[in-house]
Structure 1
Amino acid sequence: MAGDARIRLDKWLFFARFFKTRSLAAKQVGAGHVRVNSDKVLKPAHAVGPGDVLTFAQGRVIRVVRIVAMGERRGPAPEAQGLYEDLTPQAEPRAPSGGERPTKRDRRAIDALRGSDDM
């Protein structure tokens, strides 16, 4: 494809290996879960090209990528990674929340503090 060529959004997401199938990519776009240059897109056939910035959810991560190249096929992962520049902000390390279950060692320490004689 030429340098100024554009490609369907669902096809590019599939070529770049963000979605396992093209139909999954089309469903995400059709449901309004993908933004192109901060505009919500509802049509999988929306044309994208180099320089466009895509924002979409992938699992629990919000991905932000800039399209660098189009791609002619769904190739191996290193080839797919050359199609975009990842602009996703790095996730901050999670602080341990109080909602996690204590380990057996923790429970024994809690029981010792409470003075429990159940053992």
Structure 2
Amino acid sequence: MEPSHPQMLKAIYRRWRAKRMGHDMKDQYQPIYTWRETWPGEGHQDFSGFDGDQSFGRVELENAADLKPGMWKWNAAHLPWVRQEIMPRSGSEETSREACRRVEEHYEKLKAVHGR
């Protein structure tokens, strides 16, 4: 499925902004799973990670009313097959990519522990 025009514009804008701020997109973490808006069309900076149909975690930008405004909050979703939890299950990172990395690493550890 090809990205929509608005998605392409967002990607172009993100690359331009990262370059302007001195960040190289190649140096940023590249998510290995699919990430989708948690509330599509609502305009929230809130995304859920999926492995096929299985949601495994979420990242969202903290707003001014939260404890760490401007930080990206990450948390692992409850998975029905998990019998042994791994801590921490949540935290905060400076970028959305790093928050995605933390969720994906947590999910990979859970899969390894549970033989999946």
TM-score (norm 1): 0.24
Task: Give the helix-richer structure, 1 or 2.
Answer: 2
Instruction: Answer with 1 or 2: which has the greater Rg.
Output: 1
